[in-house]
């Protein structure tokens, strides 16, 4: 692996699959050429999911059986981390904000932090707690409900980009 290590995070609904209205077996892939162009150009070392659509471990198992094989096949990549909203995203955001997890539910998180801010909070928490600070890391989120932004946190040796899949700026 080269340094800096690159981590690409993909949203699910309306970014790489249709909404999960009738179950994980009824989704279809979308935006595959866009995602492949970004993967080919940016060359991430790891590809993960960062989606509010997978609420808990039960939903994650359904996703793994229904949508995951199709998505990995269409993208030609294997997904590394698949966080759930309840078990990973909300607790990480709360930890970073210094808020007791039991006081925050999904609706509050999505209303007040949005996907954009939740990603930033999770990245700070993830790399503050699990990252060796002698190496650089780059992260990118592809999502349909964010605005384009770049950030740099020298204290964590972390650079990031948040890219709207429907309005991608040069990355």
* Calpha distance 160→58 (Å, rounded): 30
Residue spans of alpha helices (H) in the chain? 32-42, 57-66, 68-75, 90-97, 106-112, 114-130
161 inside domain: no
* Calpha distance 74→69 (Å, rounded): 9
146 inside domain: no
- What is the residue-level pLDDT of the chain in tens, covering all 171 positions? 557 899 999 999 999 999 999 999 999 999 999 999 999 999 999 999 999 999 999 999 999 999 999 999 999 999 999 999 999 999 999 999 999 988 888 788 777 788 999 999 999 999 886 656 678 999 999 999 999 999 999 989 999 999 999 987 765
Same domain, 69 and 90: no
100 inside domain: yes
Among candidate residues 67, 82, 97, the one where a domain is terminated: 82
What's the pLDDT score for residue 171?
Answer: 52
CB atoms within 10 A of CB 96: 18
Q: Give me 128's structure tokens.
A: 């503050």
Same domain, 71 and 118: no
What's the pLDDT score for residue 130?
Answer: 62
- Are the beta carbons of 38 and 76 closer than 8 angstroms? no
Q: How far is CA 98 from CA 29, 88, 93, in A?
A: 37, 15, 8
Report pLDDT digits (tens) over 27-61: 999 999 999 999 999 999 999 999 999 999 999 99
Same domain, 93 and 76: no
- Total count of domains within the chain: 2
Domain that holds residue 60: 15-49+56-82
* Calpha distance 109→17 (Å, rounded): 23
Same domain, 27 and 75: yes
Same domain, 45 and 68: yes
């Amino acid at each position: 692996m080269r340094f800096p290590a690159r981590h690409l995070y993909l949203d699910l609904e309306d970014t790489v699959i249709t909404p999960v209205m009738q179950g994980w077996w009824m989704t279809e892939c979308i935006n595959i050429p866009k995602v492949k162009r970004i993967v080919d150009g940016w060359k991430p070392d790891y590809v993960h999911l960062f989606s509010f659509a997978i609420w808990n471990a039960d939903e994650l198992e359904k996703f793994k059986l229904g949508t995951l094989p199709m998505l990995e096949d269409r993208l030609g990549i294997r997904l590394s981390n698949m966080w759930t909203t309840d078990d990973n995203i909300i607790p990480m955001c709360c930890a970073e904000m210094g808020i007791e997890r039991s006081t925050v539910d999904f609706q509050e998180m999505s209303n007040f932090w949005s996907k954009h801010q939740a990603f930033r909070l999770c990245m700070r928490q993830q790399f503050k707690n699990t990252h060796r600070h002698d190496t650089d890391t780059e992260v990118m989120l592809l999502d349909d409900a964010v605005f384009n932004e770049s950030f740099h946190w020298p204290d964590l040796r972390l650079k990031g980009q948040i890219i709207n899949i429907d309005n991608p700026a040069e990355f």
